[in-house]
A and B are shown apart, each in its own frame.
Chain A
Amino acid sequence: MTTSQPEATPTPNSAVGHDPAFIEVERFSFWYGAAQALFDISLEFPERRITAFIGPSGCGKSTLLRNLNRMNDLIDGVRHEGDIRLDGTSLYDPAVEVISLRKRVGMVFQKYNPFPKSIYENIVFPLRVAGRGSRSELDETVERSLRGAALWDEVKDKLHESAYSLSGGQQQRLCIARAIANRPQILLMDEPCAALDPVATLKIEELMMELRKEYTIVIVTHNMQQAGRCSDHTAFFYLGRLIEYAPTLQLFESPAKEQTEAYISGRFS
């Protein structure tokens, strides 16, 4: 337990301040054991834009998303081909410190997963593990993040109660607040609004529009309206393959592929 890796090792391309980052995925294939989940995927995420992943269940959206911050490394027997680059540096470069990569690339999970701690402690967790945290900085972060996740008004009086005392939707927003607490450069969101009511959904969308000014965001969604409303680019996946990737307006108004059209119009078989 002495081998914890220092989190401050600079990566070659560590960006300064709030420079957005630019992600390239090149000919990326991915296997869970023998089962291939992603097939030869190539795409680029423009900086300071929101990219949406759509596609039927099980098509590999979460898999690709999890690869962007190497969360899949920990699964037994996974394998990949191709490359993913962040600001031109391969994520798989031996010199890349996974810990600091994950600090740059924040993530909100498909299933909300707050820690069994207080609301406050949940949000300051990324700061605590980074070894930061004057009292005022923590307080300020908690308020900013909770406001950002449209949760502040609901929980401001019970910050020190257990996170599990919140409703499911509130817990999901807490996870979003937690993900943005340390101001990552890239935010990966896996169906962040699945458990939210329309008002909260709207707030999250507003948050995304706000964050878009500074961050690069990738969002997985099953909600076509949401993809249409707030993303700049949309990628449609089907059975582990990238079928179509285009500016959102273009993809929704005049999809190039028949499958895309069938999916977005709900006539999917």
Chain B
Amino acid sequence: MKQRRSDNPKSTGATRSGKGNVVPERFLVSKGTLRFDRFMTQAIQVGGLVVVLAVFGIFAFILSVIWPLFGGAEAAEGDTMFELEASEGAILGLDDWGELPFVTDGGRELVFHPVDGREPFLREAPLPDGAEVSSLRHDPGAQRIVAGFEDGRAGFFEVRYTMEFEEGRDRRVEVELGGEEWFEVAGGPVHAAAYADGGSNKLLAAVHDGGESGARSGLAVVGFHQQRGLLGGGRIEAMPKEELGHLVGGPIAEILIPATADMIFVATDQCELVFLAQDRGEWTVRQRMRMFDNPETRLKTLGFALGDNSIVAGGSGGEVRVFSLFPPEPGEPRTLGLTKEFPGLSDAPVLFAASRRNKTVFIASENELLIGYTTTETVRWRGSVEPGLAALALNGRGSSAAFLDTAGRMRFFEINDPHPEAGMRAFFSPIWYEGFSGPRFSWQSGGATDDFESKLSITPLIVGSLKGTAYAMLFAMPIAILAAIFTAHVLHPSWKRVIKPTMEIMASLPSVVLGFLAAIWLAPLVEYRMPGVFLMMVGIPIVVVVIGYAWSWLPVHLRSRLPTGLELVLLLPVVLGVGWLCWRLGPVVEQWLFVVEMPDGEKVADFTVWWPQWTGLPFSQRNSFVVGFMMGFAVIPIIFTITEDALSNVPPSLLAASRALGATRWQVISTVVLPVASAGVFSAVMIGLGRAVGETMIVVMATGNTAIMDPSNNLIFGSPFGLGSGEFPLAAQWNPFDGMRTLAANIAVELPEAAQGSTHYRTLFLGAFVLFVMTFALNTVAEVLRQRLREKFKLV
């Protein structure tokens, strides 16, 4: 910058000192310089502020995205209200859209109350003539009302809601009753009936008084078989009626049949849950269990959560318990077990309704409503209802609930719970998902079926990130630091001029290329050569140490012939030779050490089989070992260059001082160079660590990028047959021969598929946030430690 001189000293500002003496012009700073200085100061301040704001902006944005995940449900009462004259015990039903609720008192006629303002209308139920209804049950998922009669008949008819679109008018929900089927099942009145349609087989069960153990102890069952032809359902054929009351052996309170129509869950008056299943065409008791610990407790409500794999039971003491079907040991038939328990209601729960969208369940006592999410065992909302609840029904999405209050009015709740499956528990605690033998940390964000539960534990992703980083650092750190020491303080400086730029080029290698190499070349190459790789890992260091030791015993006059550092270069072919030898010897060692007996008695030497057999942990081709190796390659150049700089910046005077005091080459390095450069080396390691934690492409490519095909399924998704039952073994996460999924890779793979604003989308952002916090914490700790080191070895 050109400095303009002012000819007139007065024009340059304060030219007079305190005593009024004129300051000679040569002592003044030119205006231009001052202006430029001021401008640059401002520019730097503005720039810094913009950066800080940008960081905070990103932070705020991420927070705003993840914030709703941690909120509960909101429920508010709607304006619509119908006065009706229904008595207690009435059944309330609601269509999927929540627009056409109906009430029925005795089941003979259904009264529909359109919420869009149309007049209420009445439909006659297609019941058999002259039969008196003795039990009634509404199955909203199947749009079906199951009825039992005093004369021993039972059956069902359908309440078919349809959405009508007509020109010039809004869409409208219409209803039609029909599809009725009635069967003779019992000799006397039917106290409870249940029906399920499992496709080719259907099942109707009825509780009656004809059993051996008194009233309500008979259980009549009729199975149906429907031939499935090319043209859809064929003829329905009823099987002979069976009496199962003796299997239960007591008065029956409630029965449930899942949609598969191959099991019956019977709850007795004694609060025993009897699980009846068909074993080779024969009904047998698969399991009996007590539902409540307190013998005084009586069963008040019983119902399925979505998917019919979990039974929610409400006890008279206010208990709300969830029993799920799962195999106690891998491969065994499923039995019921208590998997979850909600904090109890203050009063006995009497009403139950399950969402047809997710695992949300509504349980109500007379004055209190609890909305819970069974999977995560969390209460989403709870509140009281005045004057009291008499019936409850949900629409399809679970966004609207209709209820009858004890004053005979029909009222509505609007429920807003966009992220029921999220929450602290879901993300960070082991969750007992349906079908699992125990609580697990599991991530599986999408599935093929409708009743699939997304598993959103980010714990395995965090562990995956740490695992990838740890393996990469384990490999990269010693190599990079030793190489930097060698280049900076052993090798002749002329070599450094070649090595450093080469390493810097390596650092800029796109990680996609490394990931590609790992997936396509390295993983298949080492898959069946693991013993050789082990041998190298052990053999090369040993040979180097032995040669070094032997070298130190050579007479001085032989050693001093070689210029400093060159002897280590001469070691290179030896190392390569040993590496090659180890690689070749690998199969020999495998023959010797890693022999397993196959089921057919044949002995096979194969590490890939041996490892899962001996440790119970899976072996996959694209494993952490490969990822660690390749990620190590991505990290080595970074650690190397920064470490090398730090080591080279150790003042030569200190090196001279230690040499003059008789320190050997290694002593100079270990006692002077490394301590003085420790802060720099530490920074290098931390920067490498940061890169490894956030590394995405290598992990994505080298572990396979599809969630379902992911070889690490067993770990991340807690497969029911991978790791045995019970607690999820976190230690198994560190299996080097298994893959992993890191937070960063997960975001890269799944974010394009996640619908904006969905739970999945927000959870991915939560992953980003955790990554952010992790690196932030790591950097902070690192910076504190680094400052300490700097303070300790500062050179002033």
Interface residues of A (CB under 8 A from B): 1-7, 9, 69, 71, 74, 76, 93-97, 99-100, 102-103, 106-107, 109, 111, 113-117, 125-126, 128-130, 164, 175, 178-179, 182
Q: Does B676 belong to the interface (CB within 8 Å)?
A: yes
If the complex has contacts A2-B548, A3-B567, A94-B560, are A115 and B665 also in contact, measured as CB distance less than 8 A? no
Q: Does B498 belong to the interface (CB within 8 Å)?
A: no
Q: Chain B, 203-246, contact with A by CB distance < 8 Å: what is the 0/1 string?
A: 00000000000000000000000000000000000000000000
Q: How far is the CA of A82 from the CA of B303 in the complex (A)?
A: 104
B671 and A113 within 8 A (CB): no
B663 and A5 within 8 A (CB): no
Q: Does B666 belong to the interface (CB within 8 Å)?
A: yes
A67, chain B: closest CB distance, angstroms: 13
Contact check: which of B555, B568, B660, B793 meets A107 at CB < 8 Å?
B660
Q: Does B604 belong to the interface (CB within 8 Å)?
A: no
Q: How far is the CA of A128 from the CA of B792 in the complex (A)?
A: 20
Q: Does B76 belong to the interface (CB within 8 Å)?
A: no
Q: How far is the CA of A97 from the CA of B664 in the complex (A)?
A: 11
B568 and A102 within 8 A (CB): no
A102 and B659 within 8 A (CB): yes
Q: Does B343 belong to the interface (CB within 8 Å)?
A: no
Please, which residues of chain B bring their CB within 8 A of the CB of A71? 656, 659-660
Interface residues of B (CB under 8 A from A): 482, 485, 493, 544-545, 547-549, 551-553, 555-561, 567-568, 651, 653-654, 656-667, 669, 671-672, 675-676, 792-796
Contact check: which of A1, A96, A109 meets B556 at CB < 8 Å?
A96
A145, chain B: closest CB distance, angstroms: 12
If the complex has contacts A1-B666, A76-B493, are A129 and B671 also in contact, measured as CB distance less than 8 A? yes
Chain B contact surface mostly: helix
A175 and B657 within 8 A (CB): yes
Closest B residue to A74 using CB positions: B659
If the complex has contacts A1-B669, A95-B555, are A182 and B659 also in contact, measured as CB distance less than 8 A? no
Contact check: which of B556, B657, B792 meets A94 at CB < 8 Å?
B556
Listed A/B pairs (14) with beta-carbon separation below 8 Å = A3-B551, A3-B568, A4-B665, A95-B557, A102-B660, A107-B660, A109-B657, A111-B653, A115-B672, A117-B675, A125-B663, A129-B664, A129-B671, A182-B661
If the complex has contacts A3-B551, A5-B559, are A125 and B666 also in contact, measured as CB distance less than 8 A? no
| Given A4-B552, A95-B557, A129-B662, 13 additional A-B pairs, CB 8 A | A1-B666, A3-B666, A4-B667, A7-B664, A71-B660, A94-B557, A94-B558, A94-B561, A102-B659, A107-B660, A117-B675, A126-B661, A182-B661
If the complex has contacts A94-B561, A128-B671, A164-B794, are A5 and B660 also in contact, measured as CB distance less than 8 A? no
By CB atoms of chain A within 10 A, which of B547, B666, B676 has the most? B666
Q: How far is the CA of A128 from the CA of B654 in the complex (A)?
A: 16
By CB atoms of chain B within 10 A, which of A2, A4, A117 has the most? A2
Chain A contact surface mostly: loop
A116 and B660 within 8 A (CB): no
A164 and B796 within 8 A (CB): yes
Closest B residue to A105 using CB positions: B660
Please, which residues of chain B bring their CB within 8 A of the CB of A179? 660-661
Please, which residues of chain B bring their CB within 8 A of the CB of A93? 557
Contact check: which of B568, B651, B662 meets A130 at CB < 8 Å?
B662
Please, which residues of chain B bring their CB within 8 A of the CB of A1? 482, 485, 548, 666, 669
B141, chain A: closest CB distance, angstroms: 71
Q: How far is the CA of A129 from the CA of B664 in the complex (A)?
A: 8
B661 and A97 within 8 A (CB): no
What 10 pairs between A and B have smallest CB-CB spacing? Answer: A2-B548, A94-B557, A103-B662, A4-B666, A113-B653, A4-B664, A126-B661, A107-B660, A129-B663, A113-B657
Contact check: which of B551, B656, B676 meets A109 at CB < 8 Å?
B656
Please, which residues of chain B bring their CB within 8 A of the CB of A182? 661-662
Please, which residues of chain A bring their CB within 8 A of the CB of B676? 116
Please, which residues of chain B bring their CB within 8 A of the CB of A102? 659-662
B657, chain A: closest CB distance, angstroms: 4
Q: How far is the CA of A214 from the CA of B106 in the complex (A)?
A: 122
If the complex has contacts A102-B659, A109-B657, A129-B662, are A2 and B545 also in contact, measured as CB distance less than 8 A? yes
Closest B residue to A6 using CB positions: B552
Please, which residues of chain B bring their CB within 8 A of the CB of A116? 654, 675-676, 792-795
Closest B residue to A127 using CB positions: B661
B763, chain A: closest CB distance, angstroms: 48
Q: How far is the CA of A215 from the CA of B136 in the complex (A)?
A: 115
Q: How far is the CA of A109 from the CA of B651 in the complex (A)?
A: 14
By CB atoms of chain A within 10 A, which of B551, B663, B792 has the most? B663
A109 and B660 within 8 A (CB): yes
Q: How far is the CA of A211 from the CA of B551 in the complex (A)?
A: 38
Please, which residues of chain A bring their CB within 8 A of the CB of B796? 164
B550, chain A: closest CB distance, angstroms: 9
Q: How far is the CA of A17 from the CA of B564 in the complex (A)?
A: 32
By CB atoms of chain A within 10 A, which of B545, B567, B664 has the most? B664
Please, which residues of chain A bring their CB within 8 A of the CB of B559? 5
A113 and B656 within 8 A (CB): yes
B660 and A69 within 8 A (CB): yes
A2 and B657 within 8 A (CB): no
Q: How far is the CA of A123 from the CA of B669 in the complex (A)?
A: 18
Please, which residues of chain A bring their CB within 8 A of the CB of B557? 93-95
A218, chain B: closest CB distance, angstroms: 14
Q: How far is the CA of A190 from the CA of B51 in the complex (A)?
A: 52
Please, which residues of chain B bring their CB within 8 A of the CB of A96? 556
A125 and B552 within 8 A (CB): no
B556 and A95 within 8 A (CB): yes
Closest B residue to A122 using CB positions: B657
B568 and A178 within 8 A (CB): no
By CB atoms of chain A within 10 A, which of B659, B792, B793 has the most? B659
A113 and B654 within 8 A (CB): yes
Contact check: which of A2, A7, A74, A113 meets B662 at CB < 8 Å?
A7
Please, which residues of chain B bring their CB within 8 A of the CB of A115? 654, 657-658, 672
Q: How far is the CA of A109 from the CA of B652 in the complex (A)?
A: 12
Please, which residues of chain A bring their CB within 8 A of the CB of B561? 94
Please, which residues of chain B bring their CB within 8 A of the CB of A4? 552, 664-667
By CB atoms of chain A within 10 A, which of B658, B660, B795 has the most? B660
Q: How far is the CA of A145 from the CA of B347 in the complex (A)?
A: 87
B382, chain A: closest CB distance, angstroms: 63
A230, chain B: closest CB distance, angstroms: 22
Please, which residues of chain A bring their CB within 8 A of the CB of B795? 116, 164
A2 and B552 within 8 A (CB): yes
Q: How far is the CA of A6 from the CA of B658 in the complex (A)?
A: 16
Please, which residues of chain A bring their CB within 8 A of the CB of B792? 116
Closest A residue to B493 using CB positions: A76
